[in-house]
Amino acid sequence: MTTTLAGGRAARRQTMRRIRPRRSPAVPLVLAVWAGAAGVLWLWWRNTPSIADDTGRILNAGRITGLLAGYLMALVVLQMARVPALERRVGSDRVARWHAMTGRYTICLVLAHVFLTMWGYALQQGRSLGDIVRQTIDSVEQLPDMGKAALGTGLLLLIGLVSVGGIRRLLPYDAWYHIHLLTYAAVFLTFWHQISTGNDFAVEPAARTFWYGLYGSVTALMLWFRVLTPIRLNLRHRMRVEAVIEETPGIVSVLIGGRRLHRMGAEAGQFFRWRFLAPGMRFSSHPYSLSAAPRPDVLRITVKAIGDHSARLRELEPGTRVWAEGPYGALTAGRRSRGKVLLVAGGVGITPMRALFETLPAASGDLTLLYRANSTQDLALWDELASIADERGARLMYAVNSPDGARPDISAERLRQKLPDIDEHDVFMCGPPGFAQSVYEALRGAGVPARRIHHESFAM
């Protein structure tokens, strides 16, 4: 059995109103980040006296690595705050990559800060490099807020460890996600020793005020968008499961009803983080894309059973309360820059592509969807896609394995054969990482500029 949700012309009119000239705030944001780092360097330089010996050099190196680590910690929290200006215009996956990169730099700077500072303190006490552990223990016991800082540093190292690719793949998603939330505690614990033991903040009241303002602003954004906004959204819309329907073996659609859902501001191509308040699922929050254009009375997600959480969705009962955060993501019509569009979906990546296939305004013949699956039985939502293609005069193609298991050819040459003017298209793509990478390379080989290949992953 399949579901059919179609907004038709009304959904396309709504999408057309949302299309705006393409803007990328990445450059001004990056400049702002570098300006902040330059300000930190200036603060350090302003308060650094003439250095006459190795001990002074080591301690001042510890100072600057500590200041930069503190600055990056604020950015780490900001990148976790789900600020709409970042999520919708930059893209969730890009913000997630920035977050991961900033986190790695932060941990490296924290380790350098601890090592250099303790080494410098040890030299001041007439100790050798081998006495750093003893010096560290003494500092934790004697200096204000150093016990909190030590605990926070330990949490940062734990978070960094479980975020390493091989270890992360071994952990259940929920375990990794909840450990990752300890970042907030780590930043809180390490903040106070920056103020109480940092010489720069002791001699520069303006610097201390700025530091409080930086961390206070980031904390306010995090509380507003990660706590208060979701509470307001869910109290206002009161979502519940309407039905769960099997689309193909292992893939189900969940229909979610609520009040005035059209006022949530969701667009085709976006996703929410969903929490279903059913036994055994209350503490799990997972990202799933909308698989149909949002309607005033119902939203739909379509999910493949690839883990414990997704496999249990088929067991949901009608009436189950739903808690959602979002909408997130920038894989929307706003990225479009050309009249012709190619949508490429791999496996369950069809979900945001199906919603875009329905809503993207396009003349007859200007819209194409390529759907990659292992077999024709795995082509979820195919009847809906065929109906949309007939209504809109769009092209619908699929690529499945041959009976002997051979994978279909999705190369640059094959793409040019199917779409001779492919280099004149915008391309929206969603699928597993390996599939997305191979298709990206084929598209580039076929002449599609990188700026017109739009892809977003929602793993974080």
Query: How buried is 108 (Cβ within 10 angstroms: 0-12 exposed, 13-18 middle, 19+ buried)?
Result: middle
How far is the C-alpha of 250 from the C-alpha of 261, rounded, in Å? Answer: 28
Of the candidates 268, 269, 258, which has an alpha carbon nearest to the alpha carbon of residue 234?
258
**Do residues 396 and 385 touch, judged by C-beta distance below 8 A?**
yes
Is residue 9 pLDDT above 80, yes or no? no
Model pLDDT for residues 376-430, shown as the tens digit of each residue: 888 989 999 999 999 999 999 999 998 888 899 999 999 999 999 999 999 999 9
Is residue 23 pLDDT above 50, yes or no? no
Residue 394: helix, strand or coil by DSSP?
coil
Which amino acid is residue 411, in one-letter code? S
Is residue 27 pLDDT above 80, yes or no? no
How far is the C-alpha of 37 from the C-alpha of 69, rounded, in Å? Answer: 10
Strand order in the sheet with 286-289: 286-289, 271-276, 322-328
**Do residues 90 and 29 touch, judged by C-beta distance below 8 A?**
yes
How far is the C-alpha of 311 from the C-alpha of 283, rounded, in Å? Answer: 16
Which pair of structure tokens corresponds to residue 129?
């490099």
| Helix 183-197 / helix 146-162 crossing angle, nearest 10 deg | 150
**Do residues 37 and 74 touch, judged by C-beta distance below 8 A?**
no
- Bridge partners (DSSP) of residue 288 are 272
Model pLDDT for residues 422-458, shown as the tens digit of each residue: 999 999 999 888 899 999 999 999 999 999 999 876 5
Task: Report the percentage of the chain scoring pLDDT > 90.
Answer: 61
How far is the C-alpha of 118 from the C-alpha of 375, rounded, in Å? Answer: 61
Output the CA torsion 97→23→443→165 (10° steps). 0
Give the chain's count of helices (H) and strands (E).
18, 11
Q: Which domains does the chain have, with CATH numbers?
A: 26-232 (1.20.120), 238-328 (2.40.30.10), 333-455 (3.40.50.80)
Query: How buried is 250 (Cβ within 10 angstroms: 0-12 exposed, 13-18 middle, 19+ buried)?
Result: middle
| Measured distance between the N- and C-terminal CA atoms of the chain, rounded to whole angstroms | 31
- Bridge partners (DSSP) of residue 301 are 254, 290
Model pLDDT for residues 203-244, shown as the tens digit of each residue: 888 899 999 999 999 999 999 999 999 999 999 999 999 999
Average pLDDT, the chain: 88
Residue 288: helix, strand or coil by DSSP?
strand
- Sign of the dihedral defined by the CA atoms of residues 137, 140, 141, 147, in that order: negative
